[in-house]
Amino acid sequence: MRLPLLNILLLISFAVNAQQASTDSLFNRNLEEVVVTATRSERKLSNVAVPVTLIQQKTIRQSGSLRLPDILAEQTGLFITQSFGKGVQMQGLSPDYTLILVDGEPLIGRTGGVLDLSRITVGNIRKIEIVKGPSSSLYGSEALAGVINIITDRSNARKLQADLRYGRFNTLDASLNGSTRMGKLSLGAFVNSNSSEGYSLRPNAVQKTVEPFWRLTTQVNIGYDFSERTHFNLTTRYNYEDIQNSITVQNLGTQVLSKGKENNRDLNITPTFSHRFNNQIKTTFRGYITQYNSKQSLEVKDQLIGYNDQFKQEFYRIENQTDIAFSDDHNLNAGGGYIREFVQSNRYDSLQTKRSNQVGYFFLQDEWRPLKNLSLIGGLRFDANSAYASVWSPKLAVQYRVTEKLRINASVGRGFKAPDFRQLYLNFTNIAAGSYSVFGSLVAKDEVLRLQAAGQIDNILPVFEKLTDLNPETSTGLNIGAQYDPSKKIKTRINFFRNDISNLILTDVIAYKTNGGQIFSYLNISRAFTQGLEAEASWQFNTSFNLSGGYQFLMTADKDILDAIAAGEMYKRDEQSGISSLLTRQEYAGLPGRSKHMINLKLFYENPSQQWFATARAIYRSRWGTSDIDGNGVINRDDEFADGYMQLNVSGGRNFARGIRIMAGVDNLLNYTDPENMPGMPGYNWYVSMSFDFGKFKQTRKQ
């Protein structure tokens, strides 16, 4: 791939070009907070009727974050899960159900339903917008729990900035970010390299808990203003990831050391063309070309075992969105698009077979303010598909301003997640472990009948007959909340949420092989709910101190389990006596991996001249269910939980003259580890970093 080299060359040219000092300082305070994700159009944060969290670049920088999960972990109600990479749990829903956007375009390449957020560097993030609650009415599939939109720095001011950071485990992170403007043309480029030798939480194990890796991210933006009203932008983002794996493989009763390699590449190209006809009408055409390539191989010396897995996903989209302002109080957003998607994998049939899907969609959103203090938003989206049933996703939101200080919000909406290629086409047989097979729902019938004809099927279960159309997983979400700001210095927010999810896709046994192996496929078999309360408050004590805190109370349950408990069909086993008894509703702890209580408390300090800053951030999470031990398949016994814990992160730094900044910090200062349940938490983690702003350097020299 030539792209990174090109990007680096571009950056060097900025170094030469960066003559003028940038005027947009990182440290501008009290800017009007504007968000785009909640309504797909620019709105003041305080006017948005759905729960939105906004994280500014300054907070990300002062917190010493490197990758996206670092900063998300410190937000109220979000939890970073650690299976198939780092995913985010929102409103108690699994990572599969949060849509991840970069500059409004969805990232692809999920493994086991999880998009590894470690793939995303925070180095060029301008802000992060987190919208909670179903948002499929605007964004389609995957937006059940909500949407996280990462908005990168595409400013066209002349600047060049370098960052270098070194920390524990030989972690090295280096970034260069530059932009310039030549008349109507603006250019921006960013490159980031991130590497670490990994770490081991079990000193005697051959295999490290986190293996050595190297990641490279590059991004180039080209903008051209045809006129005041007509703009063109092209963004190219490329991400490369290389992970070494030393695994011990059990072979013929002995342990064999093997070398593994994982390689993930991710390319996004986004051309955008927008034109404003007049004060009322604006239209935007967006194209999106993205590919994700993943290769995982394992080689065992002098042995034939091992594997070489490949996965390639392509996603192409064209879209138009037109915004019409009928009046100051009445706005309409209408849009539509077409998606073509392809997947190739040796785990789905063969690498040569290209599986494809097409989606056509349109959406409408009407925002109307019938009274001065009342606004209503209605939205509707239709997604038609070639591989599964089509979906309507409506949403309704209301905001009522009781006073200038008190606002009440309520919204109800539908969310959905389309069956993914894995659930439709997977064709995997594990010869080593019990010879089980997993077949996607669209191929399972043919495969089982083929095996039956070959005399390899012992028993077909009744559920086999239900294998035909896999329906999208759907949810209905309700959010009711209030914002109360007693003064300019104190802001509070509270939100109640409830998500009812149906048609959840799970694997189930559909047949048995003559050799005893089980055959699994994917079925819409489960229903669940998550509900809770989220509260946040922040207090700007004076110009220097800001104290903020957040709390989430969460309750979840599998509705089928609740029905079974009510019917007296769920049992538990006493740890001491081994005797069974009935499970009660109070003992059932809900879905695994969910903490009932999550708390964060953050203190940010900056001296009045903004030279010094320091932060201390504490995150607490109460115990959460890990795996069933007493054989009933649900979490109910004390030994089925992982311990709750608190993580404390601190950082501090100083801005010097000539655009130089030095910073140091320690994440997880209390050195908490839990190798079994939290492998991604390496104990305390110190770092030092330095940044250099070339624009400021020249500015100071001129004076």
Of 373 and 580, which CB lies nearer to another protein in the complex structure? 580
Q: How far is the CB of 577 from another protein (least distance, A)?
A: 7
Q: At its nearest, how many Å lie between another protein and the CB of residue 252?
A: 5
What is the token pair recorded at 656? 């010097």
Cβ proximity to another protein, 82 vs 274, nearer residue: 82
In one-letter notation, the amino acid at residue 302 is D
Shortest CB 518 distance to another protein, Å: 9
| Min dist. Cβ of residue 94 to another protein (A) | 17
> Closer CB to another protein, residue 312 or residue 573?
573
Query: How many of the other CB atoms lie within 10 Å of CB of 63?
Result: 22
Measured from the CB atom, the residue of 434 and 486 that comes closer to another protein is 434
The secondary structure of residue 542, as a DSSP letter, is S
Distance of alpha carbon 234 from alpha carbon 37, whole angstroms = 20
Closest approach, Cβ 453 to another protein, in A, equals 21
> For residue 528, which of 497, 570, 571, 499 has the smallest C-alpha distance?
499
- Interface with another protein by CB under 8 A: which residues? 250-253, 433, 516, 569-573, 577-583, 627-633, 639, 676
| Rounded-to-integer distance, Cα 258 and Cα 628, Å | 32
DSSP 227-259: SSSEEEEEEEEEEEEEEEEEEEEEETTEEEEEE
370 or 462: CB nearest another protein: 462
CA separation for the pair 511, 459 (Å, rounded)? 6
Is 44 or 202 the residue whose CB approaches another protein more closely?
202
Strands 281-300 and 254-276, sheet pairing:
antiparallel
User: Could you tell me which residues come within 8 angstroms of residue 180 by beta carbon, excluding any fewer than 6 positions away?
Assistant: 14, 17, 18, 156, 158, 159, 186, 187, 188
439: exposed, middle or buried (C-beta count within 10 Å: 0-12, 13-18, 19+)? buried
* Shortest Cβ 580–another protein spacing (Å): 4
| Nearer residue to another protein within complex by CB, 46 or 81 | 81
Q: Cβ contacts of residue 603 below 8 Å, gap of 6+?
A: 545, 546, 547, 615, 616, 617
Distances (CA, A) of 48 to 18, 29, 367, 377: 38, 21, 11, 10
Smallest gap, in angstroms, from Cβ of residue 425 to another protein? 25
Closer Cβ to another protein, 8 or 205, answer by number? 205
Are 439 and 162 in contact by the 8 Å Cβ rule? The answer is no
Residue closer to another protein (CB basis): 456 or 492? 456
Calpha distance 482→535 (Å, rounded): 10
Residue 433 CB, nearest approach to another protein (Å):
8
CB of 509 to another protein, least distance (A): 9
Q: What is the CA radius of gyration of the chain?
A: 26
State which residue, 112 or 516, has the beta carbon closest to another protein: 516
Please state the φ and ψ torsions of residue 167, each to the nearest 5 degrees. -155, -175
Shortest Å distance, C-beta 96 to another protein? 19
Q: Are 37 and 53 in contact (CB under 8 A)?
A: no
Distance (Å, whole) CA 539 – CA 101: 30
Q: What is the per-residue DSSP string for 434-491?
A: TT-EEE-TTTHHHHHHHHHHTT-EEEE-GGGGG-SPPPPEEEEEEEEEEEE-SSSSEE
Nearer to another protein, 244 or 673 (CB): 673
Longest dimension (CA), the chain: 87
CB nearer to another protein: pick between 251 and 373 = 251
Give which of 93, 66, 65 is closest to 78, Cα–Cα: 93
For residue 637, the minimal CB distance to another protein (Å) is 10
For another protein, the closer of residues 486 and 516 by Cβ is 516
CB-CB contact of 413 with 137 (8 Å): yes
Sorted by sequence, the CB contacts under 8 Å of residue 51 that are 6+ apart come out as 131, 132, 133, 409, 479, 481, 493, 495, 497, 534
We find the least distance from the C-beta atom of residue 578 to another protein, in angstroms, to be 3
> Which of 308, 627 has the CB closer to another protein?
627
- For the bound state, the minimum distance from the C-beta of residue 202 to another protein, rounded and expressed in Å, comes to 11
CA dist., res. 624 & res. 79, Å (int): 12
Q: In angstroms, give the least distance from the CB of 274 to another protein.
A: 50
